[in-house]
Amino acid sequence: MAFEGLAQRLQGTLQKITGKGKISEADVKEMMREVRFALIEADVNLKVVKTFVKTVSERAIGQDVMKSLTPGQQVVKIVKDELTNLMGGEQNPIQFSRKSPTVIMMVGLQGAGKTTSSGKLATVLRKRHNKNPLLVAADVYRPAAIQQLETLGKQLTVPVFSLGTDISPVEIVRQALEKAEKEHHDVVLIDTAGRLHIDEVLMQELKDIRELATPEEVFLVVDAMTGQDAVNVAQNFDDAVGITGVILTKLDGDTRGGAALSIRTVTEKPIKFVGMGEKMDALEPFHPERMASRILGMGDVMSLIEKA
């Protein structure tokens, strides 16, 4: 039941074309229908698909494809290039503030992977950036959210600041900042509770934390399996708290991950990391080109090459 990739999808159209020599505008149009199918099946938001197909279609009709001897490959190439471009340049490192500590805030829907990604980020901060992070347990709602973060902290031997659940998250963050100052932590990593983007009370709470802590980075953590709704989620979180980047989780699954394109398009914020597993070392930098191939169903060839 795995979905066909774009290349397979284009086969049918291409067979009709071979032998005809040149291809017509109508042929391009038919190919664009396949592009649209492939992207929607990959969970790219419909509105994003529309704009995208329009751009690609213009490029295809204007020369590139129509004169080519291998129109199918040309279309795939244009689609992939455009996708890669949209997804942003390579490598977007974590930004650190000039004044210590750098505050990083994790936000997102329930179950997206904020707490797990907080642990993973702490690992990256320590190992690759030589930092001394403090994890802050600011989720007072989910049962055992604090224990979850504390368990991860213990595994990683990264200290976790918590004050239980009978206190407001804003107050927890305030005291955490004091502690960080006193104990010379150069990064403060705040794990917030999952919340719906339409939950006004809880979105206000995030704004309050943001105002108090003036984070350098606000990471929206998004499940790579997200469907059409990804745009609403990203837009609302961005409007409310002003995200600075995205962490795309659970990319070790077999989803195409079209949400990546949707989010990138509506927020114009870079996807900085991808989650590739449940373990604490499974956080990798984002590669636009690989993501483009994946959305199009061309296999994660690059990753495979690198792993070999």
Partner 1 sequence: SKTRNQFTSKVNDLVARFRVIDEEFFEELEELLLQADVGFETVMELIDQLKLEVKRKNMKDTAGIQSVISEKLVEIYEAGEKMDSKLNIQADGLTVILMVGVNGVGKTTTIGKLSARLMAEGKTVMLAAGDTFRAGAIEQLVVWGERAGVEVIRQSEGSDPAAVMYDAIRAAKNRHVDVLICDTAGRLQNKVNLMKELEKVHRIISNEVEGAPHEVLLALDATTGQNALVQAQTFKEATNVTGIVLTKLDGTAKGGIVLAIRNKLKIPVKFVGLGEGMDDLQPFDPEKYVYGLFAD
Ligand X SMILES: Nc1nc2c(ncn2[C@@H]2O[C@H](COP(=O)(O)OP(=O)(O)OP(=O)(O)O)[C@@H](O)[C@H]2O)c(=O)[nH]1
Residues that bind ligand X (CB under 6 A): 108, 110-116, 139, 142, 145, 193-194, 196, 221, 249-250, 252, 275-278, 282
Residue 259 interacting partner from partner 1, Mg ion, ligand X, none (CB closer than 5 to 8 Å by kind) = partner 1
CB nearer to ligand X: give 55 or 303: 303
Nearest distance from C-beta of residue 302 to ligand X, angstroms: 19
Nearest residue to Mg ion, by Cβ distance, number only: 115
Whether the Cβ atoms of residue 289 and residue 84 lie closer than 8 Å to each other: yes
> Which residues are near partner 1 by CB under 8 A?
1-3, 37, 40-43, 45-46, 109-113, 115, 119, 141-145, 147-152, 155, 196-198, 223, 225-229, 232-233, 250, 252-256, 258-259, 278
Nearest distance from C-beta of residue 46 to partner 1, angstroms: 5
How many CA atoms does the CB half-sphere of 206 hold within 13 Å? 29
Taking the CB of residue 44, how many other CB atoms lie within 10 A of it? 27
CB nearer to partner 1: give 42 or 75: 42
Nearest distance from C-beta of residue 251 to partner 1, angstroms: 10
Q: Is 136 exposed, middle or buried (0-12, 13-18, 19+ CB in 10 A)?
A: buried
CB nearer to ligand X: give 71 or 194: 194
CB nearer to ligand X: give 45 or 117: 117
Nearest distance from C-beta of residue 87 to Mg ion, angstroms: 27
CB nearer to ligand X: give 12 or 111: 111
Nearest distance from C-beta of residue 256 to partner 1, angstroms: 8
| DSSP for 12-81, written as a single string | HHHHHHTTS-S--HHHHHHHHHHHHHHHHHTT--HHHHHHHHHHHHHHHHTTTTTT-S-HHHHHHHHHHH
Using the rule CB under 5 A, is 115 a contact of Mg ion? yes
Nearest distance from C-beta of residue 240 to partner 1, angstroms: 14
Pairing state between β 271-275 and 283-285: antiparallel
Contacts of 231 (CB under 8 A, 6+ apart): 45, 47, 48, 262, 263, 265, 266
Coil, strand or helix at 295: helix
Q: Is 98 exposed, middle or buried (0-12, 13-18, 19+ CB in 10 A)?
A: exposed
Identify the residue whose tokens are 């802050």.
Answer: 136
E strand or H helix that includes residue 85 = helix 71-86
* Residue 37 one-letter amino acid: F
Residue 42 interacting partner from Mg ion, ligand X, partner 1, none (CB closer than 5 to 8 Å by kind) = partner 1
CB nearer to ligand X: give 63 or 110: 110
Nearest residue to ligand X, by Cβ distance, number only: 194
Nearest distance from C-beta of residue 231 to Mg ion, angstroms: 23
Using CB under 5 A as the criterion, which residues of the chain lie in contact with Mg ion when the complex forms?
114-115
